[in-house]
Chain A
Protein backbone atom coordinates (compact mmCIF):
# COMPACT_ATOMS: atom_id res chain seq x y z
CA UNK A 1 0.00 0.00 0.00
CA UNK A 2 1.59 3.27 -1.19
CA UNK A 3 -0.84 5.51 0.66
CA UNK A 4 -2.58 6.60 -2.54
CA UNK A 5 -6.13 5.32 -2.77
CA UNK A 6 -8.52 5.22 -5.72
CA UNK A 7 -12.22 4.52 -5.90
CA UNK A 8 -13.91 2.65 -7.31
CA UNK A 9 -11.47 -0.13 -8.17
CA UNK A 10 -13.68 -1.37 -10.98
CA UNK A 11 -16.39 0.33 -13.01
CA UNK A 12 -18.53 -1.19 -15.73
CA UNK A 13 -20.71 1.21 -17.65
CA UNK A 14 -22.68 1.39 -20.87
CA UNK A 15 -21.54 3.50 -23.77
CA UNK A 16 -22.78 7.05 -23.50
CA UNK A 17 -22.92 7.14 -19.71
CA UNK A 18 -20.84 9.46 -17.54
CA UNK A 19 -18.40 8.11 -14.96
CA UNK A 20 -16.37 9.73 -12.19
CA UNK A 21 -13.29 8.39 -10.45
CA UNK A 22 -11.71 9.61 -7.23
CA UNK A 23 -8.10 9.70 -6.11
CA UNK A 24 -6.88 10.44 -2.58
CA UNK A 25 -3.15 11.19 -2.68
CA UNK A 26 -0.63 11.03 0.14
CA UNK A 27 -1.64 13.99 2.28
CA UNK A 28 1.57 16.01 2.15
CA UNK A 29 2.04 15.58 -1.61
CA UNK A 30 1.10 18.69 -3.53
CA UNK A 31 1.51 17.21 -7.03
CA UNK A 32 -1.04 14.77 -8.39
CA UNK A 33 -0.96 12.99 -11.76
CA UNK A 34 -3.50 11.02 -13.76
CA UNK A 35 -2.40 8.33 -16.21
CA UNK A 36 -4.25 5.91 -18.45
CA UNK A 37 -3.04 2.39 -19.16
CA UNK A 38 -4.36 0.07 -21.84
CA UNK A 39 -3.58 -3.62 -22.17
CA UNK A 40 0.05 -4.33 -22.98
CA UNK A 41 1.11 -0.69 -22.72
CA UNK A 42 2.80 1.38 -20.08
CA UNK A 43 0.93 4.17 -18.35
CA UNK A 44 0.33 7.30 -20.44
CA UNK A 45 0.17 10.75 -18.92
CA UNK A 46 -3.21 12.52 -18.95
CA UNK A 47 -2.97 15.55 -16.68
CA UNK A 48 -1.44 16.88 -13.49
CA UNK A 49 -2.15 19.26 -10.63
CA UNK A 50 0.06 21.29 -8.41
CA UNK A 51 -2.10 21.91 -5.37
CA UNK A 52 -5.51 22.87 -6.84
CA UNK A 53 -4.16 24.19 -10.15
CA UNK A 54 -4.36 21.97 -13.22
CA UNK A 55 -1.12 22.82 -14.98
CA UNK A 56 -0.94 20.51 -17.95
CA UNK A 57 -3.19 18.34 -20.09
CA UNK A 58 -2.04 15.70 -22.53
CA UNK A 59 -3.47 15.58 -26.05
CA UNK A 60 -4.97 12.25 -24.93
CA UNK A 61 -7.37 14.19 -22.72
CA UNK A 62 -10.28 14.88 -25.05
CA UNK A 63 -13.05 17.38 -24.32
CA UNK A 64 -15.10 14.59 -22.77
CA UNK A 65 -12.57 14.31 -19.95
CA UNK A 66 -12.39 16.73 -17.04
CA UNK A 67 -10.38 16.64 -13.86
CA UNK A 68 -10.57 18.65 -10.69
CA UNK A 69 -8.68 18.92 -7.45
CA UNK A 70 -10.67 21.20 -5.15
CA UNK A 71 -8.69 22.54 -2.21
CA UNK A 72 -5.61 20.71 -3.40
CA UNK A 73 -6.55 17.49 -1.71
CA UNK A 74 -8.39 14.64 -3.45
CA UNK A 75 -8.93 14.70 -7.20
CA UNK A 76 -11.71 13.52 -9.48
CA UNK A 77 -11.57 12.48 -13.12
CA UNK A 78 -14.85 12.54 -15.03
CA UNK A 79 -15.49 11.04 -18.43
CA UNK A 80 -18.64 12.16 -20.18
CA UNK A 81 -20.44 10.19 -22.88
CA UNK A 82 -18.13 7.22 -22.50
CA UNK A 83 -16.96 5.31 -25.56
CA UNK A 84 -15.64 1.77 -25.83
CA UNK A 85 -12.19 3.19 -26.50
CA UNK A 86 -12.20 4.68 -23.01
CA UNK A 87 -11.91 1.20 -21.52
CA UNK A 88 -8.61 1.18 -19.65
CA UNK A 89 -6.99 1.33 -16.23
CA UNK A 90 -6.95 4.87 -14.86
CA UNK A 91 -4.05 5.45 -12.49
CA UNK A 92 -3.42 8.26 -10.05
CA UNK A 93 0.00 9.12 -8.64
CA UNK A 94 1.26 11.73 -6.22
CA UNK A 95 4.62 13.19 -5.28
CA UNK A 96 6.05 15.92 -3.08
CA UNK A 97 6.60 19.27 -4.76
CA UNK A 98 10.35 19.30 -4.35
CA UNK A 99 13.12 16.88 -5.10
CA UNK A 100 13.27 13.91 -7.42
CA UNK A 101 10.18 12.87 -9.32
CA UNK A 102 9.51 9.71 -7.35
CA UNK A 103 5.80 9.15 -7.82
CA UNK A 104 3.61 6.87 -5.75
CA UNK A 105 0.80 5.20 -7.63
CA UNK A 106 -2.60 4.14 -6.45
CA UNK A 107 -4.12 0.75 -7.33
CA UNK A 108 -6.02 2.18 -10.28
CA UNK A 109 -9.63 2.15 -11.44
CA UNK A 110 -10.38 -0.32 -14.21
CA UNK A 111 -13.07 1.01 -16.52
CA UNK A 112 -14.98 -1.25 -18.89
CA UNK A 113 -17.35 0.42 -21.36
CA UNK A 114 -19.85 -1.97 -22.90
Chain B
Protein backbone atom coordinates (compact mmCIF):
# COMPACT_ATOMS: atom_id res chain seq x y z
CA UNK B 1 0.00 0.00 0.00
CA UNK B 2 1.58 3.26 -1.12
CA UNK B 3 1.37 5.25 2.11
CA UNK B 4 3.69 6.86 4.58
CA UNK B 5 4.78 5.35 7.89
CA UNK B 6 5.18 7.50 10.99
CA UNK B 7 5.42 6.87 14.75
CA UNK B 8 2.00 6.96 16.35
CA UNK B 9 3.01 9.46 19.01
CA UNK B 10 5.94 11.46 20.35
CA UNK B 11 6.59 13.74 23.29
CA UNK B 12 8.82 16.79 23.32
CA UNK B 13 9.80 19.23 26.04
CA UNK B 14 8.89 22.86 25.44
CA UNK B 15 11.82 24.77 23.98
CA UNK B 16 13.56 21.66 22.71
CA UNK B 17 13.77 20.51 19.11
CA UNK B 18 11.13 18.07 17.91
CA UNK B 19 12.32 15.60 15.28
CA UNK B 20 9.51 13.77 13.51
CA UNK B 21 10.51 10.92 11.19
CA UNK B 22 8.62 9.57 8.20
CA UNK B 23 9.17 6.60 5.94
CA UNK B 24 7.98 6.99 2.35
CA UNK B 25 9.88 4.19 0.67
CA UNK B 26 7.53 3.92 -2.33
CA UNK B 27 7.77 7.56 -3.33
CA UNK B 28 8.68 8.07 -6.98
CA UNK B 29 11.60 10.14 -8.14
CA UNK B 30 9.68 13.24 -9.13
CA UNK B 31 7.24 13.45 -6.22
CA UNK B 32 7.61 16.06 -3.51
CA UNK B 33 7.37 15.25 0.20
CA UNK B 34 4.90 17.48 2.05
CA UNK B 35 4.39 17.98 5.75
CA UNK B 36 1.14 19.16 7.28
CA UNK B 37 -0.13 19.40 10.81
CA UNK B 38 -3.65 19.28 12.16
CA UNK B 39 -4.97 20.65 15.38
CA UNK B 40 -8.13 19.02 16.65
CA UNK B 41 -11.22 19.78 14.55
CA UNK B 42 -9.36 21.99 12.08
CA UNK B 43 -8.18 21.39 8.53
CA UNK B 44 -4.57 20.38 7.89
CA UNK B 45 -2.10 23.26 7.88
CA UNK B 46 0.75 23.26 5.38
CA UNK B 47 4.24 23.35 6.95
CA UNK B 48 6.91 22.66 4.36
CA UNK B 49 7.75 20.58 1.31
CA UNK B 50 10.85 19.33 -0.50
CA UNK B 51 12.04 17.18 -3.37
CA UNK B 52 15.69 16.25 -2.85
CA UNK B 53 17.41 19.03 -0.99
CA UNK B 54 16.93 19.95 2.62
CA UNK B 55 14.55 22.86 3.12
CA UNK B 56 13.97 25.45 5.84
CA UNK B 57 11.28 28.03 6.35
CA UNK B 58 9.99 30.08 9.24
CA UNK B 59 8.12 27.13 10.70
CA UNK B 60 10.42 24.16 10.32
CA UNK B 61 13.27 22.36 8.58
CA UNK B 62 12.94 19.30 6.37
CA UNK B 63 15.72 16.76 5.99
CA UNK B 64 15.31 14.25 3.14
CA UNK B 65 17.60 11.24 2.86
CA UNK B 66 19.66 10.85 -0.28
CA UNK B 67 17.64 7.83 -1.42
CA UNK B 68 14.43 9.81 -0.68
CA UNK B 69 12.91 6.90 1.19
CA UNK B 70 12.56 8.84 4.40
CA UNK B 71 12.50 12.35 5.79
CA UNK B 72 12.54 14.17 9.11
CA UNK B 73 10.64 17.30 10.07
CA UNK B 74 12.41 19.43 12.63
CA UNK B 75 10.67 22.00 14.80
CA UNK B 76 13.72 23.77 16.25
CA UNK B 77 12.15 25.20 19.40
CA UNK B 78 8.85 23.48 20.11
CA UNK B 79 6.13 25.43 21.91
CA UNK B 80 2.91 24.25 23.51
CA UNK B 81 1.05 25.51 20.42
CA UNK B 82 2.95 22.99 18.30
CA UNK B 83 0.97 20.16 19.92
CA UNK B 84 -0.84 18.59 16.96
CA UNK B 85 -0.96 15.60 14.64
CA UNK B 86 1.81 15.84 12.05
CA UNK B 87 1.39 14.20 8.66
CA UNK B 88 3.98 13.58 6.04
CA UNK B 89 2.50 13.05 2.63
CA UNK B 90 3.45 12.84 -1.00
CA UNK B 91 1.76 13.51 -4.26
CA UNK B 92 -0.38 10.90 -5.94
CA UNK B 93 -0.80 10.48 -9.70
CA UNK B 94 -3.55 13.08 -9.91
CA UNK B 95 -1.86 15.60 -7.71
CA UNK B 96 -3.79 14.43 -4.69
CA UNK B 97 -1.88 14.04 -1.44
CA UNK B 98 -1.43 10.59 0.10
CA UNK B 99 -1.53 10.67 3.90
CA UNK B 100 -0.75 8.08 6.56
CA UNK B 101 -2.06 8.12 10.11
CA UNK B 102 0.34 10.81 11.29
CA UNK B 103 2.28 11.37 14.50
CA UNK B 104 0.59 12.89 17.51
CA UNK B 105 3.15 15.29 18.96
CA UNK B 106 2.66 16.39 22.53
CA UNK B 107 4.78 19.32 23.68
CA UNK B 108 5.03 19.36 27.45
CA UNK B 109 6.03 22.25 29.74
Contact = CB atoms under 8 A, between A and B. Distances in A.
Interface in B45-100: 45-46, 49, 87, 89, 91-92, 94-100
Contacts of B34: 101-103
A65 interface: no
Contacts of A55: 94
B95 A91 contact: no
Contacts of A106: 43
B41 A110 contact: yes
B32 A100 contact: yes
Contacts of B32: 100-101
A40 interface: yes
Contacts of B92: 45
A108 interface: yes
Interface string A102-114: 1111111010000
A62 interface: no
B21 interface: no
Which 4 pairs of residues, A with B, have the shortest CB-CB distance?
A42-B99, A105-B43, A45-B96, A56-B94
Interface of B: 32, 34, 36, 41-46, 49, 87, 89, 91-92, 94-102
Interface of A: 2, 4, 6, 31, 33, 35, 40-45, 48, 55-56, 91, 93, 95, 100-108, 110
